[in-house]
Structure 1
């Protein structure tokens, strides 16, 4: 019985993670500038990979009855490095003078330099 519950959780987490990854991929093609694209790539794909890794952890917990702490370490690593990488991409684009899209209303970093 518990194996069915863990498999159901695994399926749920992997599907949610796949949807986040799909939204991230669509955002990379549809969004107008490098700043919004980097935001989509860093935030949504980080959540997608984290959900998939948790789903894989539940799958192996139900199948082999073995807890994999390395999967939790991978989730923690992705959680810490994904948004930081996206922030660095956006900051370097801003410092190199990449223009915003025409619909951008304000520039919060203009006075921070």
Structure 2
């Protein structure tokens, strides 16, 4: 395999790992549900997407063809993560979860 392909794969793996780490830290450090919801849905989605793209490039260069499975995984991930986050946020609003004082907006106190 060419060295420049290995470099691109390494770059996508590092970027994906960095985004996943930022998402995990956000999930750990943020104080309430609504703030924690952004970590996994934004950064971790990009992290897993970067890793799957790296896998697509690696196995595509090795086997002389792109894998449709990995492309479908990425597409499915980018479609389902925002939808599930929206559903979780709507359920939390319905349950009127406690908010941290730094959370902006009080939707049920209107």
TM-score, length-normalised on structure 2?
A: 0.90
Query: Across the two proteins, how many residue pairs are aligned to each other?
Result: 110
Distance 2:88 2:16 in 1: 23
Higher relative contact order (CA 8 A, sep 6+): 1
The answer to whether the 8 Å contact 2:96/2:108 transfers is: no
The answer to whether the 8 Å contact 1:7/1:62 transfers is: no
Structure 2 residue 28 is the aligned partner of structure 1 residue 29: yes
What is the 5 A alignment of 1:53-64? Answer: 53-64=52-63
The answer to whether the 8 Å contact 1:17/1:47 transfers is: yes
Distance 2:15 2:5 in 1: 15
Cross-structure match for 2:2: 3
Distance 1:49 1:37 in 2: 18
Cross-structure match for 1:91: 90
Superposition misfits of 4+ residues, deviation over 6 angstroms: none
In the alignment, structure 2 segments of 5+ residues that lack a partner are: none
In the alignment, structure 1 segments of 5+ residues that lack a partner are: none
1:106 counterpart SS class:
coil
The answer to whether the 8 Å contact 1:57/1:67 transfers is: yes
Please report how far the alpha carbon of residue 70 of structure 1 lies from its aligned counterpart in structure 2 after TM superposition. 1.3
Distance 1:9 1:27 in 2: 27
CA RMSD after TM alignment: 1.8
Please report how far the alpha carbon of residue 63 of structure 1 lies from its aligned counterpart in structure 2 after TM superposition. 2.0
TM-score, length-normalised on structure 1?
A: 0.88
